[in-house]
Amino acid sequence: MLVEQIAVFLENKSGRLAEITAILAENDTNIRALSVADTADFGILRLIVNDVEKARTILQEAGFTVGKTNVLAVEVVDKTGGLATVLKSLHNAGINVEYMYAFVNKSGGNAVLIFRFEKMDEAIDVLQKDGFTLLSGEQVCAL
Amino acid sequence: MYWEQEKECLPRPQLEKLQLERLKNTLARVGTTVPFYRNTFSKLKIGAGKVKSLDDLRRLPFTTKQDLRDNYPYGLFAIPLRDVVRIHSSSGTTGMATVVGYSRNDIINWSNLVARILCGAGVTADDMIQIAFGYGLFTGGFGLHYGAERLGASVIPISAGNTKRQIQIMQDFKTTALVCTPSYALKMADVMMDMGINPNGLSLRFGLFGAEPWSEAMRTEIDARLGIRASDNYGLSEIMGPGVAGECQECNGLHVNEDHFLIEVLDPDNLEPVAPGEVGELVITTLTKEAFPVIRYRTRDLTRLLPEPCPCGRTFVRIHRMMGRSDDMLIIKGVNVFPTQIEAILFEIEGTEPHYRLIVERENNEDKLTVMVEVVESIFFDAMKKQRAFMDMIKKKMASELGIGVNVKLVEERTLDRFDGKGDRVIDKRQL
């Protein structure tokens, strides 16, 4: 049920994001989803890619600090209120979201929500109990 | 103005005779009561009996800060603890801190020597002295406090911090003499301007500054902006604290209280004396200290002798204001900071040799230390909240270990240049 995500530490310097995406492109690594959290000084780039280990290695070799984390991918119908129902279910169960981001899968008409929770196991239980669809890493990349 | 004229103006031959007598006395005491000295003296086959002239000082072993650390806390004390009436200490945890002690006589001497410095700078029993040095383990606050009381002046023991309140009290209590670091005096001038207070309307006449390096340009600025006479004084806790040396009203070098301290200026590399008037490391031997005597303490402070007689009439030799360090110690907001302390904290957190850089700046007359840390995987988090909490944790640890607040800036791996020397890890941008 868990999806692997890589995170990259970035100083707020111009061109760093361009550099990372170029490195991934050169190595035939496809980015399925990404998000950036930033402060005035630095940012944290999070990526879901088709080949996690390869992406991690090439970025490390290029000198970046790369971390690997597990996240959850929840598939919802791409229509009004899709995200709200998921968040309501989590809120009712008292589960806090550490961070989240989303992307829309145009062909399937669905949206995919990427979540990181402090209590991943509890979140999985709650989401499954409430009938949400959790995607595996392969499924996310196959979209 | 003299506090103890007959001593401060003692003819050199008599002074040197007194120094030799006191040196032998000190050597005899440490040679029997302090194992560290007993062992080194016996290894070098030297002792009080073999010292015939002040030149023989050069045959004695040095004492370093590391020796003080190795003997933490009480290993170098020369008297039983029950006779120690005061303890002071440098910041830092075990292994980094140094601890010093004072007997009742030491406190009396210390107070007297600080009274000399105050008196030499022009302060009298009629003055109202505001002591804005921190009171506590740091010797600055209590050292000046006891000296000012000994002088008979009125003391405002306000301690460090809260600048607006300092200025309010300075105005209301009619402070005439200010004791703090020179950069803090300029900071006060800035805040006075913000508060709409004209320094010329205050009663302030004297400023006694120390605990950090400064320059003639800073003196001119302080004098002009606060409308006072700023004088420099020097001391270090390992020797006693403030009271080792201070400027007379000529404001042209600091007279060393030579009847209590024997000084040498040595080449820090070969530890041989430099030519008179050349810059070298100040090495001090205490002559009267009971609880914590030190022999040839390497201060790591660079200065030079000003051998010409001073028009003020004191026979005590003058040294130039401190000109730098022969090691990598930084003085930030008057607090001594070693890069190795910061390295040790980062090592503890990261579990591996940290890559870091220290940037020291002076913004609005206030020192600012920024620690740049390369983010390795063990200290990198995918959640921003955790990454920020981690930065706060580093800041807190540094503040509690160093005694000053620091800024932490996280940078990407391998972006800081690799250097071999530790000194290269510091970029000091301060222009004094």
CATH number of the domain that residue A31 is part of:
3.30.2130.10
Q: Which domain holds residue A59?
A: 2-69
| Cα–Cα nearest to B212, from B315, B145, B133 | B133
Task: State whether A81 and A137 are in the same domain.
Answer: yes
Task: State whether A85 and A48 are in the same domain.
Answer: no
Alpha carbons A6 and A49: distance in angstroms, whole number: 8
How is domain B332-428 classified at the architecture level of CATH?
A: 2-Layer Sandwich (3.30)
Alpha carbons A90 and A39: distance in angstroms, whole number: 27
* Neighbour-count burial of B6, counting CB atoms closer than 10 A to its CB (0-12 exposed, 13-18 middle, 19+ buried): exposed
Task: State whether A61 and A48 are in the same domain.
Answer: yes
Q: Does B165 touch chain A (CB under 8 A)?
A: no
Residue A34 has pLDDT above 70, yes or no: yes
Share of chain B above pLDDT 70, in %: 98
Q: Any idea how long chain A is? A: 143
Q: Into how many domains does chain A fold?
A: 2
Domain ranges, ordered by start, for chain B: 1-327, 332-428
Question: For A64-86, what is each residue's pLDDT tens digit?
Answer: 999 999 999 999 988 888 899 99
CB contact under 8 A, A11 and B415: yes
Alpha carbons B274 and B305: distance in angstroms, whole number: 10
In chain B, what residues touch A63 (CB-CB under 8 Å)? 412-414
CB contact under 8 A, A65 and B380: yes
Question: For B98-143, what is each residue's pLDDT tens digit?
Answer: 999 999 999 999 999 999 999 999 999 999 999 999 999 999 999 9
CB contact under 8 A, B382 and A39: no
CB contact under 8 A, B380 and A9: yes
Q: According to the model, what pLDDT value does residue A141 have? A: 82
Average pLDDT over residues B365-377: 93
Q: According to the model, what pLDDT value does residue B88 have? A: 97
Q: Does A14 touch chain B (CB under 8 A)?
A: no
The strand order across the sheet containing B426-428 reads B407-411, B366-374, B356-363, B426-428
Task: State whether A77 and A124 are in the same domain.
Answer: yes
Estimate to the nearest angstrom the gap between the alpha carbon of B34 and the chain centroid.
24
Which residue(s) pair with B305 in the sheet? B319
* CB B300 within 8 Å of CB B109: no
Q: According to the model, what pLDDT value does residue B166 have? A: 97
User: How many CB contacts within 8 angstroms connect chain A with chain B?
Assistant: 54
Task: State whether A77 and A131 are in the same domain.
Answer: yes
CB contact under 8 A, A9 and B375: yes
CATH class of the domain whose range is B1-327:
alpha beta
Task: Tell me the three-class secondary structure of chain A, residue by residue.
Answer: CEEEEEEEEEECCCCHHHHHHHHHHHCCCCEEEEEEEECCCEEEEEEEECCHHHHHHHHHHCCCCEEEEEEEEEEEECCCCHHHHHHHHHHHCCCCEEEEEEEEECCCCEEEEEEEECCHHHHHHHHHHCCCEEECHHHHHHC
> For B91, which DSSP code?
S
| Cα–Cα nearest to A143, from A48, A59, A21 | A48
Q: Does A35 touch chain B (CB under 8 A)?
A: no
* CB B253 within 8 Å of CB B63: no
User: Domain boundary residue among A19, A51, A69?
Assistant: A69
Average pLDDT over residues B162-189: 96
Residue B420 has pLDDT above 80, yes or no: no
Residue A62 has pLDDT above 80, yes or no: yes
Task: State whether A37 and A76 are in the same domain.
Answer: no
In chain A, what residues touch B380 (CB-CB under 8 Å)? 7, 9, 65, 67
Q: What is the mean pLDDT of chain B?
A: 94
CB contact under 8 A, B375 and A98: no
Q: According to the model, what pLDDT value does residue B225 have? A: 96
End-to-end Cα spacing for chain B: 30
Average pLDDT over residues B148-160: 97
* CB B351 within 8 Å of CB B419: no
Q: According to the model, what pLDDT value does residue A143 have? A: 75
Residue B208 has pLDDT above 60, yes or no: yes
Residue B243 has pLDDT above 90, yes or no: yes
The complex's ipTM?
0.90
**Tokens of residue B189, six digits:** 């001038």
Task: State whether A136 and A76 are in the same domain.
Answer: yes
Q: How far is CA A15 from CA A10, A22, A67, B319, B382, in A?
A: 10, 10, 21, 53, 21
Task: State whether A33 and A79 are in the same domain.
Answer: no
CB contact under 8 A, A65 and B377: yes
**Tokens of residue B38, six digits:** 């007993």
Cα of B413 to nearest chain A Cα, Å: 6
Q: Chain B interface, mutation test: which of A10, A42, A101, most B Cβ atoms within 10 Å?
A: A42
Q: According to the model, what pLDDT value does residue B354 have? A: 87
| CA angle, A101 then A104 then A108, to 5° | 140
Alpha carbons B90 and B237: distance in angstroms, whole number: 8
- The H or E element containing residue B330 is strand B330-332
Task: State whether A52 and A88 are in the same domain.
Answer: no
Tell me the pLDDT band of B240, cut-offs 50, 70 and 90.
Answer: very high
Alpha carbons B368 and B157: distance in angstroms, whole number: 26
Tell me the pLDDT band of B94, cut-offs 50, 70 and 90.
Answer: low
pTM of the model: 0.85
Question: For B318-347, what is each residue's pLDDT tens digit?
Answer: 999 999 999 989 999 888 898 888 988 999
Task: State whether A90 and A32 are in the same domain.
Answer: no
CB contact under 8 A, A116 and B413: no
Residue B423 has pLDDT above 60, yes or no: no
Instruction: Identify the three-state secondary structure at position B106.
Output: helix
Cα of B424 to nearest chain A Cα, Å: 22
Question: For B265-274, what is each residue's pLDDT tens digit?
Answer: 999 999 999 9
Helix axes B163-172, B182-195, angle to 10 degrees: 80
Task: State whether A55 and A101 are in the same domain.
Answer: no
Task: State whether A64 and A78 are in the same domain.
Answer: no
CB contact under 8 A, A69 and B382: yes
Identify whether B73 is preceded by a cis peptide bond (ω within 30 of 0). yes
Q: According to the model, what pLDDT value does residue A12 have? A: 87
* CB B110 within 8 Å of CB B240: yes
Tell me the pLDDT band of A109, cut-offs 50, 70 and 90.
Answer: confident
Tell me the pLDDT band of B422, cut-offs 50, 70 and 90.
Answer: very low
Q: How far is CA B29 from CA B48, B65, B71, B107, in A?
A: 9, 21, 18, 19
Instruction: Identify the three-state secondary structure at position B414.
Output: coil
